[in-house]
Structures are given as C-alpha cells and as structure tokens.
Amino acid sequence: MSKKIIKGDVDLSNLHLKQLPVGLLNDVHVSGNFYCNNNKLTSLVGVPKTVGGTFNCSNNKLTSLVGVPKTVGGGFYCGSNNLTSLSGVPKTVGGDFYCGNNKLTSLVGSPSSVGGDFDCGSNNLTSLVGAPSSVGGYFLCNTNNLTSLTGAPSSVGGNFYCGKNAVKFTEAQVRAVCDVKGKVYV
C-alpha cells in the first residue's frame, strides 16, 4: 500500500470548525504546513500522521493534544487553548514550539529538543521540569507561578525571558542552571 502524500499546505483555519473531517487526512503525510488554528475544535482527531512544515492548532478549545502528528518538521503551535498537559507532542520539533496561554501546570511531555524558540508563557507553571534540554532560539517562561528554575534547558541559543513569576529570579540564577547564548531578561 502506498503512502498518501499531500504536496504543499493544508489550511483549515478560520472555518468555525467544531471537528476536523474524520477520515480525510488520517494516515496522510502533508509535505508543507497544516493549519487548523482559529476554530472551535475540542479534539485533534483527523489530523495528518506527519507534517513536513508547521503544525498550528492554536486558538481552539483543546484540552488535550492526543492525536497530533508523530513528526513535525517545522514549528508546533498549540497556544491559546485550554491545555493542561503536553502529552502526545512530537519528541523533536525543528522550528518553534509555542504552548503559551494555556492552563499548563507542568512541561512534562515537551519535546526533548526544539530547533527554534520555546514559549511557555502565561500558564500556571511552578517549575520548568519537563522543558526541552536544548532550545535553538529564545526560551520564554514569563507570567507563570515559577518558584524554581529546576528543569530549565541546559542550553538556550537565544535570550531567556523569565519575568513576572512568583519569584523574581536574577540573571546569575538563570545562568547558573542554563548556558544562555543571548541576554537574560528577569
């Protein structure tokens, strides 16, 4: 049986969808980007098996990421939902990973490495346990309830942002746990 491939992008954004077309994209590889953002989705049943570019399911009513593609070559955007867990996300993300503006209390389940930026701001995090071990771009954990930097990435290629938390961290505290190539904003 040959693999079903869609060359290019699939854009199902801004269509007021409550669910994705079941069966249409299952077991399909999308070579480009897949967008299902800005809808009213409560489930990701029906997304492609793999996405070569960006996967964007932001601005929905998702409470779970069960069913997301196993492989995403570009960015992964799941911000502005009602997520309480990152369980199910791909192990590596080639581009940015954005999970801000959710109800996350833990980063367990995050990709182990992110090629671009990692943004987990505006959640309910108290520590960074579960964060990627390396982030190629910036790392943003502003506007949480952080009382500890435990679990912070060991290396960040860009800037590190950690202001507006329960504890006001110092630049020295951040640099003691993470090799930050850019600036530290506290």
pLDDT of residue 180 exceeding 50: yes
Mean confidence (pLDDT) of the chain? 95
Residue type, 30: V
pLDDT of residue 27 exceeding 80: yes
Helix (H/G/I), strand (E/B), else coil: 28 = strand
Q: Compute the distance between CA of residue 5 and CA of residue 110 in angstroms, rounded to an integer.
A: 27
For residue 26, name the pLDDT band (cuts at 50, 70, 90): confident
Please give the full DSSP string across 128-182, using - where no structure is assigned.
-TT--SEESS-EE--SS--S--TT--SEESS-EE--SSSS---HHHHHHH-EESS
Bridge partners, residue 5, by sequence: 29
pLDDT in tens, 51-105: 999 999 999 999 999 989 988 999 999 999 999 999 999 998 999 999 999 999 9
pLDDT of residue 2 exceeding 70: no
Write down the pLDDT at residue 1. 44
Q: Compute the distance between CA of residue 142 and CA of residue 174 in angstroms, rounded to an integer.
A: 13
Q: Compute the distance between CA of residue 180 and CA of residue 69 in angstroms, rounded to an integer.
A: 30
Query: Which own/partner contact pairs does 172-176 have at CB distance under 8 Å and 24+ positions apart?
Result: 173/149, 174/149
Reported pTM: 0.95
Q: Compute the distance between CA of residue 12 and CA of residue 35 in angstroms, rounded to an integer.
A: 6
